Amino acid sequence: MADQSAPQEMTEVSEAQIAVHWKEEEYFQPAAQLVAQANLNDPRVRERFALEKFPDCFREYAAMLDWFEPYEKVFDGSNAPFWKWFTGGKINAAYNCVDRHLAKYASKPAFIFVPEPETETETRITYQELYTRVNEMAALLRDFCGLRAGDRVTFHLPMTPELPITMLACARLGIIHSQVFGGFSGQACGSRIQDSGSRVLITMDAYWRNGALIDHKQNADIAVQTAKELGQDVDKVLVWQRYPGKYSAPTPMVNGRDYFVNEVLKNYRDKIVEPEKMDSEAPLFLMYTSGTTGKPKGIQHRTGGYLAYVAATSKWVQDIHPDDVYWCMADIGWITGHSYIVYGPLACAATGIIYEGVPTYPDAGRPWRIAEKYRVNIFHTAPTSIRMLRKLGPEEPRKYNYHFKCMTTVGEPIEPEAWRWYYNEVGKKQAAITDTWWQTENGGFLCTTIPALDAMKPGSAGPGAPGIHPVILDENGDEVPAGSTRAGNICIRNPWPGIMQTIWGDPARYVQTYYARYNKNPASKNWRDWPYLAGDGALLAADGYFRILGRIDDVINVAGHRLGTKEIESACLTVPEIAEAAVVPVMDEMKGRVPEVYIALKPGIIASDEIRARVIKANEELIGKIARPKHVYIVPDMPKTRSGKIMRRVLASISNRKEVGDVTTLANPNVVEEIRVMVQGKDAQVTQGEIPEDIAKFGEEK
Ligand code: PRX
C-alpha cells in the first residue's frame, strides 16, 4: 500500500519547518599544527564524559582549580532543580585567577590594555601587578566601604583593566559583583542596583568610544536617583578615573557620596588581603539579562562550579595555554566577558588583551593591527562584528602579519557565508573555528566543536561540549531524532557545573522559566526529570551537530545581545500619548536582528515626528542605545485576535517583508493591509525563501 501518511505530513509542516530544509555544508578539518599542540586531543573525551559518567566526570574540571579544602560531593541534586556542585569544598576565585600563578608567571602580563586612541600606548599588567592592585582594591572595599562576603556591589564600568581588577577584588572577599554593561543607561543601571540591593556603585568618569571621550559619570547620578526612587539607597559612588589624577567628566562629583578610587587607594598601598575561603556554593556574581517579562532577571552564578566550568572550557575549547595571547573582543559587561575575558582565561594563566573601543575605529584594519602588534594567537568575537569587519574591510586581514590558531564565534547564528570569510580571510585557512552556543544562564559553552578533535561545519555550533547532553524536544516533550528536518526546543538533559544557581530573589521564576515546560513531576529529586529549557529553536543533523535557529520566546537578539520585547514596550509606554506598543524583530544585515516598534495613540492624539522621537528617546534613556528602534510606526490600530491579543507575528511579517498569512480570523483584518502599505509602500513585493524560526513564530503563545 502506498504511504498515505506522506501527504498528511506535508500539510502539517509549518512555515518554520519548511525554512530549515537548508543544504548541508561541507566539513573543514583543523590544521595539523594546531592538533599537535592542543590541550585536548583525546578522541575518547566524549566517552569519558558520557551521560552514564555523570556527575563524576566533572571531577576533572574541579581538578583544574586549587581548593583550600577539598569538596565532599561532586553533585547534590536533593533540592532539584536547585543543583549544588562540589559541596563542602572551600575555594577563592581571585586566588585561582591570580595568586596561584605567581610562582611561575609573576612577570608575565595577565592583561594588555589597548586604549581606543591609537596614539596612546598600551598598559601591560603582569600577574604580580594584578595581585597588588587586586589586593589594594580589596582592602578599600573592605575597610573604606565596609563590604563583607555576601554583600552585593553594582558596577557600571567600561572596558578598562579597572573592571577585572574590581571584579577580582570582590571575589577575593566573597562580595557578589553585579556589572551592568557600560552602554546601558543610568536608569537601567539604577533598577539593577535596586534589584540586587547594592549600597555601593562603582563606575568610571569617562571612556573612549568611536573617537569621543564619553561622560560616563552622568549615568551614575541617574542610576543612584533611579535606585532611590525604587527604594534602594546608595551610600557611596566610587569613581575610577580614566586618566588617574585627572577628572575627565564635566558632571560634578557629589560631596560625601562620590570618591575617586585612585585617591582613596593611596591609603591602601601594598595592603595584602587574605583571600576568603568561600564555600563552593557561595554566589560569585550576578549578571542581569532579559527575559519574557519587563523586568530583567539577575542570573546568580556560584563560585566553585562556575569557575571549574569556565577554566575547563577555556583550556579545552579555546585551547588556551599560558604562553598564548588571547583576545576576546566582547565587552566584560556581558557574560562572554565575565567567563571568557576574566575568569576562564585567568584561571588558565593566559595573557589577555582588553581593548577599550569599537573594532572598526578608526578603520576596519584596527583589530588586525592589534593582533599583529601583540602577537594574538587566539581570537574570539561575535557574528555581528565579523559581518561589520567584512563589509568595511574584506581584504584588511591580508595586510597584517598575524597568525591565529583558534577563533571563536558566539552570540548569534552565523550564516555560512560570514563563517567562510572568517575562516578564509581572518583565520587565513589556518585557524580552527569554534561556534560556541550558550547563554548568560549557562556559565560557559554548551554546544561547540573541540578544535583538535572535531571537524567544523559552517553555521552549526556542533555537538554538546564534554559532559553536556543536549536534546531536541517537540511540543509534547518527545525527542526529535538526529537527522530529522524538524526543528524543536533545544534542552540539556543533565545539570552541569556552570549552570546558574537561581534567579536573584526570584527562585520561582527560575523553576518556571527553565524547567516547568518539560518537568512532569515537580516533586522529583531525580535530575533526569528536569531537562533544562534553553529557549532556542534548533535542529539536530544526522552527524550529531546542532544548528541553532534563534529564540523561541519574546527575546530579540540584537548584535548578540538579548533585549526583552516587554522591556522595550514598557519603555515606549512611558510616553504619555501612547495607548499600545508592540515590538517585533527585523532581520538586519549587520546586527542579525533589530527592534521595530508599532504604536497606537490614545484617542484624540495626532501622530507626529515629535512623538516618534520621544519613543526613541525613551528607549535610549530607559534601556540604552542598543535598544534604539529602527523605525517607529504609528498605526491606527493594532491587529488583534478576537480576544484582544496583539498579533505581533503579523507585524513581524510586515516588518520583514514576508507573507502575513491568513488574517481573516482577526478582530480587525482590514487594518493589516493599511499597516502593510504604511510600512512597505503600496506595491511592495514580499520576499520568498527562508523565514527564520524566531520571526515565523514570534509572539506565539507558548
Ligand atoms: O539565542 C541564543 C544566542 O544568544 C542567546 C543567549 O544570549 P546571552 O545570554 O546574551 O549570551 C550570549 C553569549 C553567550 C541564546 O539563547 N546565541 C548564543 N550563542 C549562539 C547563539 N545563537 C546561535 N549560535 C551561537 N553560537
Radius of gyration of the chain (CA): 25
Residue 662's pLDDT is what? 84
Distance 562 CA to ligand 1 centre (A): 8
Look at ligand 1, atom 26, and give the residue with the nearest C-alpha. Answer: 437
What confidence score (pLDDT) does residue 9 get?
33
Q: Is the CB of residue 435 below 6 angstroms from any atom belonging to ligand 1?
A: yes
Identify the CA nearest to 339 among candidates 311, 370, 298, 375.
311
- pLDDT of res. 1: 34
C-alpha 155/C-alpha 143 separation (Å) is: 18
Ramachandran sector of residue 682 (left: φ over 0; alpha: ψ -120 to 50; beta: rest): alpha
Q: Is residue 545 pLDDT above 90, yes or no?
A: yes
pLDDT digits (tens, 9 = 90+) for 180-237: 999 999 999 999 999 999 999 999 999 999 999 999 999 999 999 999 999 999 999 9
Inform me whether the pLDDT recorded for 71 exceeds 60. Answer: yes
Q: Is the pLDDT of residue 665 over 90?
A: no
pLDDT > 70: percent of the chain:
96
Q: What is the pLDDT of residue 141?
A: 98
Condensed to tens digits (0 to 9), the pLDDT of residues 266-296 reads 999 999 999 999 999 999 999 999 877 778 8
Is the CB of 593 within 6 Å of ligand 1? no
DSSP H/E element including 113: strand 109-114
**Residue count of the chain:** 702
DSSP assignment of 279-301: ETTSEEEEEEE--SSSS-EEEEE
Cα 406 to ligand 1 centre (Å)? 20
Confidence band (pLDDT; 50, 70, 90) for 645? Answer: confident
pLDDT in tens, 681-691: 888 777 766 67
Nearest CA to ligand 1 atom 7: 439
Nearest to 242 by CA among 215, 274, 282, 270: 215
Q: Residue 555: CB within 6 Å of ligand 1?
A: no
Identify the helix (H) or strand (E) that includes residue 699.
none
Q: 415 in ligand 1 pocket by Cβ < 6 Å?
A: no
Tell me the average pLDDT across 6-10.
34
From ligand 1's centre to the CA of 489, what distance in Å?
14
Q: How far is CA 465 from the centre of its chain?
A: 18
Alpha-carbon dihedral of residues 255, 258, 261, 264, nearest 10 degrees? 40
Confidence of residue 5 (pLDDT cuts 50, 70, 90): very low
CA of 535 to the centre of ligand 1 (A): 10
Instruction: Provide the pLDDT for residue 290.
Output: 86
Task: Give the pLDDT confidence score for residue 206 in this predicted structure.
Answer: 98
Average pLDDT of 614-632? 95
pTM (predicted TM-score): 0.92
Mutation probe of ligand 1 site: the residue of 317, 386, 439, 556 with most atoms within 8 A of C-beta:
439
Mean pLDDT of 312-324: 98
**What is the number of alpha carbons within 13 Å of residue 20 lying toward its C-beta?**
25
Q: What is the pLDDT of residue 165?
A: 98
Q: Which of 20, 422, 557 has the most ligand 1 atoms within 8 A of CB, as the residue to mutate?
A: 557
Mean pLDDT of the chain: 94
**What's the pLDDT at 688?**
67
Q: pLDDT tens across 85-110, in order?
A: 999 999 999 999 999 999 999 999 99
592-601 and 632-634 beta bridge pairing: parallel
Ligand 1 site, residue 335, Cβ cutoff 6 A:
yes
Q: How confident is the model at residue 376 (pLDDT cuts 50, 70, 90)?
A: very high
Identify residue 236 by its one-letter amino acid code: K
Q: pLDDT tens, 463-519?
A: 999 999 999 999 999 999 999 888 899 999 999 999 999 999 999 999 999 999 999
Find where cell 546558574 sits.
500
Cβ–ligand 1 distance for 536 under 6 Å, the answer: yes
Residue 203 to residues 153, 199, 441, Cα–Cα distance (Å): 11, 13, 25
- CB of residue 557 inside a 6 A radius of ligand 1: yes
CA of 220 to the centre of ligand 1 (A): 29
Check: CB of residue 497 under 8 Å from CB of residue 77. Answer: no
Closest residue to atom 22 of ligand 1, CA basis = 412
* Cell numbers representing residue 591 in the block: 546586527
pLDDT of 578 > 80? The answer is: yes
